[in-house]
């Protein structure tokens, strides 16, 4: 695919500085008009995605997009889809699930009931993966998964539980590498070009919209899984979200981050111990 980020020559006449200003004004407009706060997201990826939307709307400038979306909610919805990177996969980074089985499940067994928050769950592949793992370990019945995302349309797809059939080969391999103990095909039926996953997998799942930037904590959780979400945030926003998670975990609660993320260098670094550093599993200790 070709990149749609403007080359230096396609940049507005005022160059980078003007582009920066236009981007800031757009983000401010989005926040004030629609309440979605992308002002502290990492700018490089944001800029690329905004330009993609500018071109898709057949506009010439970021300001043009600002004007359009302020007056047209449908444009905002399309931009929202562009801005929230929804890439995900079942049993993504399989070694994470191996560590989860070995180090988190034994802790879950000690609780009569477990609340798990999957923040930034996208289209749900991660949630179905966790549900499968918990079922296989015999702890799903006494667990409730709260799966949230900023984006209502990805949550709708998650609720549907239909994933592309052509992905099943890759997901089966991930599942096996993740320590899966059955035939992966037991969990879905093929329907046209989709794989419909068993409804029983989401029996104990609550899908809800939640914005990590502006919404508060809504419960206390034994485990919080937030993988590949904060990577798109600037440091200040990452710290804010770490505060939210810290507040939402009891002592000995577990935080799971993505492979490229870390609790290190956050103000909460000393409040956690490593449960598995390679797999970014941490336990709150104070
Ligand atoms: C790259 S996906 C990660 C999905 C899954 N956790 C995984 O690791 O495969 C990032 C998700 O974070 C969501 N997201 C981005 N900003 C958010 C925010 N402020 N609050 C909640 N979710 C957000 C996006 O909508 C997207 O679905």
Instruction: Say if ligand 1 is within 6 A of residue 154 CB.
Output: yes
Please indicate, yes or no, whether residues 61 and 152 belong to a single structural domain of this protein. Answer: no
**Is 2 a member of any domain?**
no
Please indicate, yes or no, whether residues 109 and 221 belong to a single structural domain of this protein. Answer: yes
Choose the final residue of a domain: 25, 48, 83: 83
**Is 1 a member of any domain?**
no
| Atom number of ligand 1 nearest to Cα 211 | 20
| Domain span at 41 | 8-83
pLDDT digit string (tens) for 65-106? 999 999 999 999 999 989 988 999 999 999 999 999 999 999
Q: How confident is the model at residue 10 (pLDDT cuts 50, 70, 90)?
A: low
Which tokens belong to 221?
């959780």
Query: Which residue is closest in CA terms to ligand 1's atom 25?
Result: 84
Q: Which residues pair with 114 in a beta bridge?
A: 143
Q: What is the pTM of this model?
A: 0.91
Please indicate, yes or no, whether residues 56 and 136 belong to a single structural domain of this protein. Answer: no
Q: Is the pLDDT of residue 157 over 70?
A: yes
pLDDT digit string (tens) for 38-62? 999 999 999 999 999 999 999 999 9
Please indicate, yes or no, whether residues 61 and 183 belong to a single structural domain of this protein. Answer: no
Please indicate, yes or no, whether residues 140 and 13 belong to a single structural domain of this protein. Answer: no
pLDDT of residue 13: 65
Q: How confident is the model at residue 12 (pLDDT cuts 50, 70, 90)?
A: low
Distance CA 54, CA 219 (A): 39
Distance in Å, CA 33 to ligand 1 centroid: 22
**Is 240 a member of any domain?**
yes
**Is 3 a member of any domain?**
no
What's the total number of domains in the chain? Answer: 2
**Is 106 a member of any domain?**
yes
191: left (phi over 0), alpha (psi -120 to 50) or beta: beta
The answer to whether 148 and 243 are in contact (CB under 8 A) is no
Instruction: Say if ligand 1 is within 6 A of residue 153 CB.
Output: no
Q: To test ligand 1's pocket by mutation, which of 120, 232, 245, 256 has the most ligand atoms within 8 angstroms of CB?
A: 120
pLDDT digit string (tens) for 204-246? 999 999 999 999 999 999 999 999 999 999 999 999 999 999 9
Q: To test ligand 1's pocket by mutation, which of 150, 157, 212, 236 has the most ligand atoms within 8 angstroms of CB?
A: 150
Please indicate, yes or no, whether residues 146 and 67 belong to a single structural domain of this protein. Answer: no
Q: What is the largest CA-CA distance in the chain?
A: 63
Q: Print the SS3 string covering 52-71.
A: HHHHHCCCCCHHHHHHHHHH
């Amino acid at each position: 695919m070709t990149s749609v980020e403007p080359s230096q020559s396609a940049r507005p006449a005022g160059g980078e500085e003007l582009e920066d200003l236009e981007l800031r004004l757009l983000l401010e407009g989005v926040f004030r008009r629609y309440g979605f706060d992308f002002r502290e997201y990492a700018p490089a990826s944001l800029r690329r995605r905004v330009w993609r939307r500018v071109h898709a709307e057949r506009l010439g400038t970021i300001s043009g997009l600002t004007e359009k979306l302020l007056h047209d909610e449908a444009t905002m919805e399309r931009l929202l889809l562009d801005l929230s990177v929804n890439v995900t996969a079942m049993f993504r980074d399989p070694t994470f699930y191996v560590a989860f089985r070995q180090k988190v499940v034994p802790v879950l067994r000690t609780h009569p009931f477990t609340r798990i928050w999957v923040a930034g769950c996208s289209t749900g592949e991660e949630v179905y993966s966790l549900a499968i793992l918990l079922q296989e370990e015999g702890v799903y019945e006494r667990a409730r998964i709260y799966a949230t995302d900023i984006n209502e349309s990805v949550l709708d797809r998650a609720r549907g539980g239909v994933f592309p059939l052509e992905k099943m080969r890759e997901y089966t391999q991930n599942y096996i590498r993740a320590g899966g103990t059955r035939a992966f095909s037991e969990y879905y039926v093929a329907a046209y070009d989709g794989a419909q996953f068993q409804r029983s997998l989401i029996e104990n799942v609550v899908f809800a919209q939640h914005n990590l930037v502006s919404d508060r904590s809504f419960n206390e959780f034994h485990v919080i899984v937030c993988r590949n979400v904060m990577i798109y945030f600037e440091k200040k926003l990452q710290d804010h979200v770490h505060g939210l998670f810290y507040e939402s975990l009891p002592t000995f609660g577990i935080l799971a981050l993505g492979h490229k993320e870390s609790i290190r260098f956050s103000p909460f670094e000393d409040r956690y111990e490593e449960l598995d550093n390679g797999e970014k599993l941490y336990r709150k200790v104070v």
